[in-house]
Amino acid sequence: MAGTTITQRRGNMAPIFRRGPFSAYRELEELMERYWTDEGDGWGDGWGGKLLAPPLDMSETENAISLRMDLPGVTAKDIDIQVSGNQLTITGERKEEKEVKNETFHRIERRSGKFSRSVLLPCEVQEDKIEATYQDGVLKVSLPKTPESAARHIKVKS
């Protein structure tokens, strides 16, 4: 580990670590690098783990919440969307491609398997008016806000 000096004492005592002022930051940086690049971990619970959790973008306008999630290689029939209170959950599965005989793989990085992603919505939505579309590997979900959740403008009296 960079910046760390180890001194061994005599006897059964454990080694003493002398640390520089930024060694904790270096350790954290190394840990995060291993987390994001380790084969088999991928996104932790993400695309490389046992349960995939693909990243998403969520934005808000005055009238609705929009969500976009990249799901390449997934078919629309393999996606399930549920809303319960203020929690949105998207689950599904990316099917594994069948192995081709007489083909030698030099790299296998694309992941397959079940995925699940849950997010808390910033406000209440009209569950009966939620719309979802899936095109070119991108899932788009539009969640209209309830009238009570919409921003209200208050006139200031003078």
At residue 41, the pLDDT reads 40
Q: Using DSSP, state whether 32 is helix, strand or coil.
A: helix
Low-confidence ranges of the chain (pLDDT < 50): 1, 3-9, 38-49
Token reading at 97: 């491609």
- Amino acid identity, residue 64? A
At residue 42, the pLDDT reads 41
At residue 82, the pLDDT reads 95
Token reading at 42: 């991928």
Domains along the chain?
56-96+111-144 (2.60.40.790)
Alpha-carbon dihedral 108, 112, 116, 121, rounded to 10 degrees: 60
At residue 36, the pLDDT reads 57
At residue 111, the pLDDT reads 76
At residue 48, the pLDDT reads 45
How far is it, in rounded angstroms, from Cα 42 to Cα 115? 13
At residue 39, the pLDDT reads 46
> Which residues fall within 8 angstroms of residue 122, CB to CB, at 6 or more apart?
60, 65, 86
How far is it, in rounded angstroms, from Cα 89 to Cα 75? 17
> Which class for 144: exposed (0-12), middle (13-18), buried (19 or more C-beta within 10 A)?
middle
